[in-house]
Chains A and B, each alone.
Chain A
Amino acid sequence: MRVGVVTFPGSLDDRDAQRAIRLAGAEPVALWHGEHDLHGVDALVLPGGFSYGDYLRCGAIASLSPIMAEVIDAANKGMPVLGICNGFQMLAEAHLLEGGLIRNDHGLFICRDQKLRVENNSTDWTGDFEAGQEITIPLKNGEGGFIASAETLERLEGEGRVVVRYLDVNPNGSLNDIAGVTNARGNVVGLMPHPEHAVEPGFGPDTSDAMRSGVDGLSFFTSAITRMLTPA
C-alpha cells in the first residue's frame, strides 16, 4: 500500500504526513509538485503549510501546479485524496471540494488542540471512526473559516458531506462549525485540523490519561488503508 504526499513550495507538514502514513502501516511516497507523475501510488495526501506564501489566495497557486492535473484526474477516478489545512484549501481551489476558506473571523492565527465530532464515517478517510465519535487533534491556521453559499451549505448538510465539525468552540467563524467536508463519492476529504500531528504517543494532544498521548489522528490514515484493502 503506497500513499503519496505531494510537496509544494512552502509545504511544512509533508514529512509529518509521511510519518503518519508509515505509522498507520503504509509506505509513504514523496511526490513533487512540478512533476506530472504520481509514481503509481494508491492514495494521496496534500499536506499543510503555506504554499507560495499564501499569495493570491491560500492554495490557489499550488492548485495550478503541474501535478494537480494528475491529482484531479485520479480523484475523479476514485482515488482516496486527503487535503489537510493548506491541502484542503488546494482541493477547494481545484473545485474537487465545494466551499471556500477565508481569513479567521477574529483576524488571528490560531493554534490549539481542537475537539471535533466525526459526522460522516463512511468516507475513504474516516471509516475507522465510530459515527459521532469525538476526537481531539491540533488546529493551526490563519485562514480556516469555511464558507459556502446558503444553497451549497444546505446540500452539503443534506447529503451528509460534512465530515468533521468543531465542538465546544468555533475557532474561526466557519459556517455551521464545519471543519472538514467530502465530495459526493466520499474519496476526497479536506479538513483544516491536522490529523498527522496526533499519531504517536508523546507527540499528540494531551488526554485525560497522559500528557501528549492523543493519537486520534491516526484513524484517518488507517481508514484509507482499510478502504484500499477492502474489495469494492
Chain B
Amino acid sequence: MPTIVVEVMPKAELLDPQGKAVAGALGRLGKSRYTSVRLGKRFEITVDGHVDDAVLAEVTELADTVLSNSVIEDVVGIHVLEAPAGETH
C-alpha cells in the first residue's frame, strides 16, 4: 500500500525549545560544529488504494488543518512513498 509522508516544522521565526535542547546536548558532547538544531514532525499515512490527485488534495487539506497548526507550524513537505521501509512486495 502506498504511504504519503507529511513533514511539519515549527515556524522558522518562532522559538523551538525542543530543537534548542537537542542543540545544547550536542554542544555538551563537544560537537561544536553543529550550531543549531530544529525539530519537527514526520507523519507516514498509509492509503487503502492508490494515490490520485483527489487523495493528495485531501491529505494536503488535512496537513494544513489537523496535522499542523498554521499559527505555530508550517507544512514543509508532502510526498508519496511507494515502498515504505520494512514492506516487501
Which A residues fall within an 8 A CB radius of B? 56-57, 60, 64, 92-93, 98-100, 102-107, 145, 147-149, 173
Contact = CB atoms under 8 A, between A and B. Distances in A.
Given A60-B66, A100-B69, A173-B15, 11 more contacts: A56-B66, A57-B69, A98-B71, A102-B10, A102-B72, A103-B17, A103-B18, A106-B17, A107-B17, A107-B18, A149-B71
A88 B51 CA distance: 37
B71 A147 contact: yes
B71 A99 contact: yes
A103 B22 CA distance: 14
9 contacts: A64-B66, A102-B10, A102-B15, A105-B17, A107-B20, A145-B17, A147-B15, A147-B71, A149-B71
Given A64-B66, A107-B21, A92 B15 contact: no
A173 B20 CA distance: 14
Contacts of A93: 69
B17 A92 contact: no
Interface of B: 10, 14-15, 17-18, 20-21, 66-67, 69, 71-72
A147 B21 contact: no
Contacts of B20: 107
A102 B72 CA distance: 8
- Looking at B20, B21, B69, the one whose CB has the most chain A CB atoms below 10 A away is B69
A35 B18 CA distance: 35
Contact of A92 (B14, B21, B66, B71): B71
Nearest to B73: A57
Contacts of B18: 103, 107
Contacts of A103: 17-18
B38 to A, nearest CB: 13
A173 B10 CA distance: 16
A91 to B, nearest CB: 12
Contacts of A60: 66, 69
A1 B38 CA distance: 49
Contact of B14 (A56, A64, A102, A106): A102
A104 B17 contact: yes
Nearest to A57: B69
A145 B15 contact: yes
A104 B16 CA distance: 10
B56 to A, nearest CB: 21
